[in-house]
């Protein structure tokens, strides 16, 4: 089930809120947990019931490992058990996500002809697998022991974060699940959650999906793009991905907040970052946190010399690329980030040394404001280029688009690309203003959406910050309602097809 669907908005979530708060009101902690578990199963199973079985198997397996790790016989025993548990989880992930990629590469390298299985990837498997690996490592470290089955299952399946994160940690969720009935209903938290949910839906339904239409068109018609079209396409995808993913996470956090459960922040205005290190503190924060906590630090972090640290960082970005998708293009994307990250860390290290010398000499120096913006724009451009590999179906396609952006024809902007941004509701505004008759009227909405996207991503406060600042005014309430209605009306469209072919 999607958050941006009629069934979620009109049936699932109202039922969830009423049922949950009724049980909380009657102090039925266990039943409230069970209710949320059942609702989460409905939410997940709505996509495909078979997925539910895979998830249940994964939960049963990991809970068994958790119980075994909760009673360590010896350090060696715990280490072996943890290694086995992690291997089992990665094995499952490998089978569903990487099997075909692996076999295709074997076939390409050795000329073999092993059959590809075309396995359909269960939704959210990367998220719930990593979340459970984190839980097992925490168990091994003694941070959590003998967790009851009910809160454990809820930790894994809690529907707001089940499909696309954030990747939550047991230390931030389990205590909340254990104290559901202790907290009083908080209208402020609820209203701010609702506002955040609506903002997230706006980002997803109105912004991301509109940019997405342009991006889909562009990638499907690379041959007809000119240089400026290609550059715009790269920017559009950067914005689409941000609004899509962060919009989803805002909705998840908003839902959590309405249920009185805090879900960690996953995006903090990432395109306002001034360098790649800063970017990864703002983009998919919980994945970065996972890699830091469960991979980077165990590998030695920065404690074993600079060379080892840079190696660790590159490894993490390689794995991050692979986590995002089974394809060489994802690896290239990960390595593009990794290389710049390592270079930036090296540069920062040099700067730190210089700084120390300056301070010793009594001189202070900060990056001037204008330079901050230059670095922000350069970083945005670099990340946009890296996203090309993330979005493209292959490295060749990505290279093709980048070549057009560099050496393509300087031609009139594609009208078809601009048409993808023709939201009817905005087009009528142009008509009312008599702007529709202008020679380049078809491009107005494209550039309007681009300007809105860039302003929201790079200049404005993010949705969570705005949600934390609203004061409950009537005007804000009415506007929130109108935006919500706009989103709901956009869930469904009327299919049109070209009718002139057989």
Sheet strands (E) in 294-381: none
Is 369 or 502 the residue whose CB approaches other proteins more closely?
A: 502
Structure tokens belonging to residue 161: 């974060």
- Sequence-ordered list of residues with C-beta below 8 angstroms from that of 274, at least 6 positions apart, any chain: 367, 372, 375, 376, 379
Is 6 or 26 the residue whose CB approaches other proteins more closely?
A: 6
Is 324 part of the annotated catalytic residue set?
yes
497 touches other proteins by CB under 8 A: yes
Is 110 or 187 the residue whose CB approaches other proteins more closely?
A: 187
Q: Which part of the chain contacts other proteins (CB under 8 A), choosing from 113-121, 282-290, 389-397, 466-474?
A: 466-474
The CA distance from 411 to 501, in Å, is 30
CA distances, 251 to each of 2, 3, 282, 355, 495 (Å): 11, 7, 17, 42, 27
The CA distance from 48 to 217, in Å, is 28
Is 47 or 427 the residue whose CB approaches other proteins more closely?
A: 427
Distance, CA of 380 to chain centre: 17
Least separation in angstroms between residue 35's CB and other proteins is: 22
Give the other-Cβ count within 10 Å of 300's Cβ.
13
The CA distance from 61 to 53, in Å, is 12
Residues numbered 395 to 434 that lie near other proteins (CB under 8 A) are 424-425, 428
Q: Which part of the chain contacts other proteins (CB under 8 A), choosing from 52-60, 320-328, 386-394, 465-473?
A: 465-473
Is 175 or 481 the residue whose CB approaches other proteins more closely?
A: 481
| 147-175 burial code (b ≥16 CB/10 A, e <16) | beeebbbbbbbbbbbbbbbbbbbbeebbe
Q: Which part of the chain contacts other proteins (CB under 8 A), choosing from 21-29, 290-298, 329-337, 477-485?
A: 477-485
Least separation in angstroms between residue 158's CB and other proteins is: 23
The residue whose two tokens read 């995002």 is 324
Q: Residue from 143, 188, 349, 465 that binds other proteins (CB under 8 A)?
A: 188
Length of the chain: 502
Least separation in angstroms between residue 480's CB and other proteins is: 5
The CA distance from 255 to 153, in Å, is 19
Structure tokens belonging to residue 173: 């969720």
The CA distance from 38 to 392, in Å, is 38
177 touches other proteins by CB under 8 A: no
Is 415 or 478 the residue whose CB approaches other proteins more closely?
A: 478
115 touches other proteins by CB under 8 A: no
Q: Which part of the chain contacts other proteins (CB under 8 A), choosing from 35-43, 47-55, 189-197, 347-355?
A: 189-197
Q: Residue from 118, 187, 307, 366 that binds other proteins (CB under 8 A)?
A: 187
Residues numbered 7 to 26 that lie near other proteins (CB under 8 A) are 10
Distance, CA of 469 to chain centre: 24
The residue whose two tokens read 């889909």 is 216
Concatenate the DSSP letters of all residues of 332-348 into one string: HHHHHHHHHHHHHHHHH
25, 71, 118, 324: which one is catalytic? 324
The CA distance from 191 to 197, in Å, is 10
Least separation in angstroms between residue 498's CB and other proteins is: 8
* CA angle (106 as vertex; 329, 287 as ends), nearest 5: 40
How many residues sit in the footprint of other proteins (CB under 8 A)?
40
349 touches other proteins by CB under 8 A: no
Q: Residue from 191, 276, 313, 386 that binds other proteins (CB under 8 A)?
A: 191
The CA distance from 487 to 230, in Å, is 29
Is 34 or 470 the residue whose CB approaches other proteins more closely?
A: 470
The CA distance from 93 to 58, in Å, is 10
Least separation in angstroms between residue 474's CB and other proteins is: 6
Least separation in angstroms between residue 42's CB and other proteins is: 17
Q: Residue from 74, 112, 146, 492 that binds other proteins (CB under 8 A)?
A: 492
Q: Residue from 66, 97, 192, 376 that binds other proteins (CB under 8 A)?
A: 192
275 touches other proteins by CB under 8 A: no
The CA distance from 34 to 19, in Å, is 11
Residue 362's region, left for phi above 0, alpha for psi from -120 to 50, else beta, is: left
Q: Which part of the chain contacts other proteins (CB under 8 A), choosing from 91-99, 188-196, 272-280, 285-293?
A: 188-196
110 touches other proteins by CB under 8 A: no
Is 143 or 425 the residue whose CB approaches other proteins more closely?
A: 425
- Sequence-ordered list of residues with C-beta below 8 angstroms from that of 391, at least 6 positions apart, any chain: 215, 219, 237, 241, 398
Is 10 or 57 the residue whose CB approaches other proteins more closely?
A: 10
Least separation in angstroms between residue 439's CB and other proteins is: 22
469 touches other proteins by CB under 8 A: no
371 touches other proteins by CB under 8 A: no
306 touches other proteins by CB under 8 A: no
Which positions are annotated as active-site residues? 324
Residues that bind other proteins (CB under 8 A): 6, 10, 187-188, 190-192, 194-195, 198, 424-425, 428, 470-474, 476-478, 480-482, 484-485, 488-497, 499-502
């Amino acid at each position: 089930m999607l958050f941006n669907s009629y069934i979620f908005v009109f049936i699932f979530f109202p039922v969830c809120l009423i049922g949950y708060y009724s049980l909380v009101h009657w102090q039925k902690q266990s039943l409230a947990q069970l209710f949320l578990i059942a609702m989460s199963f409905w939410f997940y199973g709505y996509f495909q019931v078979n997925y539910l079985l895979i998830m249940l198997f994964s939960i049963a397996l990991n809970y068994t490992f958790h119980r075994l790790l909760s009673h360590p016989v010896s350090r060696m025993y715990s280490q072996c058990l943890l290694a086995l548990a992690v291997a089992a989880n990665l094995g499952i992930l490998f089978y569903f996500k990487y099997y075909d990629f692996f076999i295709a590469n074997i076939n390409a390298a050795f000329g073999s002809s092993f059959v590809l299985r075309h396995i359909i990837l269960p939704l959210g498997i990367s998220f719930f697998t990593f979340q459970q690996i984190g839980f097992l490592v925490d168990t091994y470290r003694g941070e959590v022991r003998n967790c009851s089955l009910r809160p454990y299952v809820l930790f894994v399946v809690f529907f707001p974060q089940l499909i696309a994160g954030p990747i939550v940690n047991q230390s931030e969720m389990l205590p909340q699940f254990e104290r559901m009935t202790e907290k009083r209903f908080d209208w402020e938290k609820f209203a701010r959650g609702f506002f955040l949910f609506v903002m997230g839906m706006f980002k997803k339904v109105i912004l991301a999906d509109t940019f997405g239409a342009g991006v889909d068109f562009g990638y499907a018609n690379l041959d007809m793009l000119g240089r400026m079209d290609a550059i715009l396409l790269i920017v559009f995808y950067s914005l689409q991905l941000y609004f899509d993913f962060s919009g989803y996470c805002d909705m998840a956090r908003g839902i959590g907040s309405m249920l009185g459960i805090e879900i960690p922040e996953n995006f903090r205005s990432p395109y306002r970052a001034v360098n790649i290190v800063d970017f990864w503190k703002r983009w998919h924060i919980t994945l970065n946190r996972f890699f830091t906590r469960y991979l980077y630090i165990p590998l030695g972090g920065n404690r074993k010399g600079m060379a080892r640290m840079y190696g660790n960082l590159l490894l993490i970005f390689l794995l991050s690329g692979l986590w995002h998708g089974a394809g060489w293009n994802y690896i290239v994307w990960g390595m593009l980030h990794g290389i710049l990250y390592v270079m930036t860390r090296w540069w920062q290290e040099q700067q730190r040394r210089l700084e120390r010398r300056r301070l010793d000499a009594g001189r202070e120096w900060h990056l001037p404001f204008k330079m901050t913006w230059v670095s922000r724009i350069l970083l945005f451009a670099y990340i946009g280029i890296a996203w090309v590999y993330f979005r493209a179906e292959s490295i060749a396609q990505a290279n093709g688009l980048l070549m057009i952006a560099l050496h393509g024809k300087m031609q009139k902007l594609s009208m078809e690309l601009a048409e993808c941004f023709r939201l009817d509701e905005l087009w009528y505004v142009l008509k009312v203003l008599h702007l529709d008759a202008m020679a380049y009227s078809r491009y107005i909405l494209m550039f309007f959406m681009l300007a809105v996207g860039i302003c929201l991503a790079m200049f404005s406060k993010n949705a969570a910050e705005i949600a934390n600042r609203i004061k409950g005014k009537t005007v804000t309430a009415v506007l929130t309602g109108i935006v919500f209605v706009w989103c709901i009306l956009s869930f469904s469209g009327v299919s049109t097809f070209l009718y002139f072919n057989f």
